Chain A
Amino acid sequence: MSGNGSVRLLSRHFGLPGQTHIETAMKRGAYEQFKRALKMKPEEVTALVKASGLRGHGGAGFSAGLKWSFVPKDVFPRYVTVNGDESEPGTCKDRLIFEYDPHLLIEGALICAWAVQAERVYIYIRGEYFYPARIMQTAIDEARAKGFIGDNILGSGWSCAVYLATGAGQYICGEETGLLESLEGKKGWPRLKPPFYPAAIGLWGKPTIVNNVETLAYVPRILEIGADKFLAMGTPKAGGPTLFSLSGCVKKPGVYELPTGVPLKTLIYEYGGGITENRKLKAVIPGGSSSHILTAEECEDLKLDFESVAAAGSMLGSAAVMVLDETISIPQLMVWMVRFYAHESCGQCTPCREGTGWLLRLATRIADGRGRKRDLDDLYELADNIDGKTVCALGAAVAWPTKSYIKKFRPEFEALIKQ
Chain B
Amino acid sequence: MDIPDNLIRKAEEIFFRFPPDRREAALVLLMFEAQRELGCIQPDTERWLAETVGVSPVKVREVLTFYSMFRREPGGRWVVQLCHNISCCLAGAENLQKLVEKKLGIKNGQTTPDGAFTLRYVECLGGCSWAPMMLVNEAQYYQLTPEKLDRIIEGLRSGKPVPPDEPTPLLGNVGEKNIA
Q: Which residues of B contact A339 (CB under 8 A)?
A: 84
Kindly list chain A residues whose C-beta atoms are within 8 Å of the C-beta of B175: 14-15
Q: Which of B130-179 contact A (CB under 8 A)?
A: 130-131, 135, 138-140, 164, 166-168, 170-176, 178-179
Inter-chain contact B67/A3, CB cutoff 8 Å: no
Closest CB pairs A-B (n = 5): A254-B172, A254-B171, A169-B69, A168-B67, A185-B27
Residue-wise, chain A 195-223 has the 8 Å CB interface mask toward B (1 for contact) of: 00000000010000000000000000000
Chain-A contact segment, one of B4-12, B85-93, B95-103, B104-112: B85-93
Q: A344, B123: Cβ atoms under 8 Å?
A: yes
Chain B residues, CB < 8 A from A131: 138-140, 164, 166-167
A selection of 17 A-B contacts at a CB cut-off of 8 Å is A12-B180, A14-B175, A89-B85, A96-B168, A96-B170, A127-B32, A168-B70, A170-B66, A170-B67, A184-B25, A186-B63, A204-B19, A247-B129, A248-B90, A256-B172, A256-B174, A344-B123
Q: Assess the B28–A92 pair: CB atoms within 8 A.
A: no
A89 and B174 contacting across the interface, CB-CB below 8 Å? no
Check B170–A14 contact: CB distance below 8 A.
yes
Are B87 and A322 in contact, CB atoms less than 8 angstroms apart? yes
**Chain B contact residues, CB within 8 Å of chain A:** 17-19, 22, 24-29, 31-32, 53, 55, 59, 62-63, 66-70, 81, 84-87, 89-91, 122-131, 135, 138-140, 164, 166-168, 170-176, 178-180
Cβ of A393 to closest chain B Cβ, rounded Å: 17
Which one of B28, B63, B139, B173 lies within 8 Å of A258 (CB-CB)?
Answer: B173
Instruction: Determine if A336 is an interface residue (Cβ-Cβ < 8 Å).
Output: yes
With A167-B28, A333-B86 given, name 9 new contacts (CB 8 A).
Answer: A4-B178, A91-B126, A92-B130, A130-B139, A168-B68, A169-B70, A170-B67, A247-B129, A340-B85
A182 at interface (Cβ–Cβ under 8 A)?
yes
Are B17 and A185 interface neighbours, CB within 8 A? no
Bound-complex Cα distance A6 to B176 (A): 10
Asked whether A166 is an interface residue with its Cβ less than 8 Å from the other chain, the reply is: yes
A319 to chain B, nearest CB (A): 12
Please determine whether A89 and B178 come into contact, CB atoms closer than 8 angstroms: no
Do residues A12 and B179 form an inter-chain contact, with CB atoms below 8 A? yes
B55 to chain A, nearest CB (A): 7
> Within the assembled complex, what's the spacing in Å between the Cα atoms of A343 and B121?
12
Quick check: B128 and A89 within 8 Å, CB to CB? yes
**For residue A247, which residues in chain B have a CB less than 8 angstroms away from its CB?**
87, 90-91, 128-129, 131
Let me know if B32 and A15 touch, CB within 8 A. Answer: no
Q: How far is the CA of A16 from the CA of B47 in the complex (A)?
A: 47
Q: Pick the residue among B28, B87, B164, B170 that contacts A90 (CB under 8 A).
A: B87
Interface residues on A, range: 35 or more
Whole-angstrom distance between the Cβ of A1 and the nearest chain B Cβ: 7
Is A366 on the interface with B (CB-CB < 8 A)? no
In the complex, A337→B47 CA distance in Å? 37
Task: List, in ascending order, chain B residues with CB within 8 A of A285's CB.
Answer: 86
Within 8 A of B (CB), among A330-353: 333, 336-337, 339-340, 343-344, 346
B174 touches A128 (CB 8 A): no
A169 vs B175: C-alpha distance when bound (angstroms): 29
Neighbouring A residues of B53 by C-beta, 8 Å: 185
A126 at the interface (CB under 8 A from B): yes
Which residues of B are found within 8 Å of A3, using beta-carbon distances? 178
Nearest CB in chain A: distance from B150 CB, A = 23
Docked pose: A184 CA to B122 CA in angstroms:
25
CB distance from A258 to the nearest CB of B (A): 7
CB pair B176 A185 closer than 8 Å: no
| Cβ contact within 8 Å between B124 and A87 | yes
Q: Is the beta-carbon distance between A91 and B128 smaller than 8 angstroms?
A: yes
- A171 and B70 contact, CB distance less than 8 A: no
Q: Check B90–A100 contact: CB distance below 8 A.
A: no
Nearest A residue to B172 by beta-carbon distance? A254
User: Per-residue 0/1 for A298-341: is the Cβ within 8 Å of any B Cβ (1 yes, 0 no)?
Assistant: 00000000000000000000001010100010000100110110
Whether A22 is near chain B, meaning CB under 8 Å from some CB there, is: no
- What is the bound-complex CA distance between A283 and B176, given in angstroms? 28
Among A9, A90, A99, A135, residue most surrounded by chain B Cβ atoms (within 10 Å): A90
Distance in Å: Cβ of B63 to nearest Cβ of chain A: 6
CA separation between A241 and B136, bound complex, in Å? 34
- The answer to whether A253 and B86 touch (CB under 8 A), given A9-B180, A168-B67, is no
Contact of A11 with B174 in the complex, beta carbons under 8 Å = yes
Whether A129 is near chain B, meaning CB under 8 Å from some CB there, is yes
Which residues of the partner chain B approach A6 to less than 8 Å between Cβ atoms?
A: 173, 176, 178, 180
